[in-house]
Structure 1
């Protein structure tokens, strides 16, 4: 491995290390154009404002100071890729979604190079969303689960959180993740199309070579192609106020319908009492 630069994550005394992997024998890939972003933000790589800012800066540096190639993100913490948001901090940070999380998702979904998430361990909730906003995912075959567990602790998923799964997964897998909080290990994730392969860094480099990803950004339109591919997702990321307004209208309509439903039940109970 060759270290290129390091970005500190001040809040946890962690960091994001950018490096090139060792040359791969027998594979047609220029590893100097494969950028591994290895993050360590103890204890479990939460998506906080400082983590997101550091990650975005790393993407900026690669885009503007290095030849275009492939970006791989992974964790130096063996147990976790990312355990998602720090909910209390997210709630305490004004505009966290639109100023940080949506910015991160938008950057990944439009990044002008192929991106691969190397899932070394658990990716829960926002951590799984983070991985899904990459172009590809390779997962540890023997350790770690993918899970959307918001339904278990009562946190509704907003439009940009849902849309990436709706776009990339089958309806049945989307349902099982969202409504059952199913914990999916590597082999099942591959069978269901949540990930694109199993393994570690060696397999990632092989995946890059097999698909010739290293040269895909060379023409300069890779990001533009992704913008058109994911136009619906991008629209949701750009219209935070519109998403909130839609939710408000849905809640207002629900109150009306729930009132009507309650009145029907009350009428039924009155009729039943007469019998």
Structure 2
């Protein structure tokens, strides 16, 4: 592979990095699509021990890598994957999130928005587990290829009592069938590669060679050439984009839902109290 650039990830004691490479020109997976220009396939491999948490420094470095590709290199295809075999990403570090002012608006929503509207095809190569925010990161790519024999995807916030906000839910709603969406969210189901393919969560199974074959088969390298690829995605995912751009509105909507829920809860408790009085009167008879 040809290395184009390497970016250190701050706050990782010098060990974290994102490396951008081109695949080998003689990749066997591209033998049936010789027209595919591998110099326009950008593989971003991120390594931030132990499990690629989406911290401010990780996100800022990822955004910089996307900026460099867009503004310094020809349009092509971006593939993101992990240099850690066990994990694609284990999601948010909740302690860091709690210590970072406006983390969602300043970091996470920005990264999600950038990927959702990126002016080239993007593919997430899931070589290992992608949990919670890491799974969402993958879903904000255009396509997903997953290791068929190792790793699970899961939205496991239900298990530890952290509700999902609008942009976290919206991407699953936009891209998955209603039953798969339900099972992931309300059962916190862990899904492996083969089932993920069957349920439409991913577009293929395999590793880097299968991903390159996917790029060649679908002729993705040339899709961004007309300059409207990002615009098409903005229109496709307008509802998701609106949620990303209206954080205050999302919070106001949630506040209204909570107020209405409290009102209904009070009414329900009152009905139960009245019912209890009636039951007590029957018992005396």
Match of 1:98 among 94, 105, 115: 105
Q: Please state whether the residue corresponding to 1:117 is helix, strand or coil.
A: strand
Q: Please state whether the residue corresponding to 2:234 is helix, strand or coil.
A: helix
Does the alignment pair 1:146 with 2:171? no
* TM-score, normalised by the number of residues in structure 1: 0.99
Does the alignment pair 1:83 with 2:90? yes
Structure of greater Rg: 2
Q: How far does residue 193 in structure 1 lie from its aligned partner after superposition?
A: 0.2
Could you report, residue by residue, the CA deviation over 1:67-88 in whole angstroms, capped at 9, with x for unpaired residues?
1000000000000000000011
Distance 1:249 1:10 in 2: 39
Alignment of 1:96-175 (within 5 A): 96-175=103-182
Q: How far does residue 144 in structure 1 lie from its aligned partner after superposition?
A: 0.1
Could you report, residue by residue, the CA deviation over 1:48-68 in whole angstroms, capped at 9, with x for unpaired residues?
000000000000000000010
Distance 1:221 1:260 in 2: 52
Distance 2:53 2:190 in 1: 19
Q: How far does residue 268 in structure 1 lie from its aligned partner after superposition?
A: 1.0
Alignment of 1:18-57 (within 5 A): 18-23=20-25, 24-25=27-28, 26-28=31-33, 29-57=36-64
Once superposed, which parts of structure 1, at least 4 consecutive aligned residues long, lie more than 3 Å away?
Answer: none
Q: How far does residue 18 in structure 1 lie from its aligned partner after superposition?
A: 0.3
Query: Which ranges in structure 2 are unaligned for 5 or more consecutive residues?
Result: none
Match of 1:192 among 189, 199, 222: 199
* 2:7 corresponds to: 7
Distance 1:193 1:11 in 2: 36
* 2:208 corresponds to: 201
Q: How far does residue 27 in structure 1 lie from its aligned partner after superposition?
A: 3.4
Distance 1:81 1:105 in 2: 16
Q: Please state whether the residue corresponding to 1:39 is helix, strand or coil.
A: strand
* 2:19 corresponds to: 17
Could you report, residue by residue, the CA deviation over 1:118-160 in whole angstroms, capped at 9, with x for unpaired residues?
0000000000000000000000000000000000101000000
Does the alignment pair 1:221 with 2:228? yes
Q: How far does residue 269 in structure 1 lie from its aligned partner after superposition?
A: 1.1
Query: Which ranges in structure 1 are unaligned for 5 or more consecutive residues?
Result: none
Q: Please state whether the residue corresponding to 1:203 is helix, strand or coil.
A: helix
Q: Please state whether the residue corresponding to 2:130 is helix, strand or coil.
A: strand
| Alignment coverage as a number of residue pairs | 275
Distance 1:37 1:249 in 2: 41
Could you report, residue by residue, the CA deviation over 1:74-129 in whole angstroms, capped at 9, with x for unpaired residues?
00000000000001111110000000000000000000000000000000000000
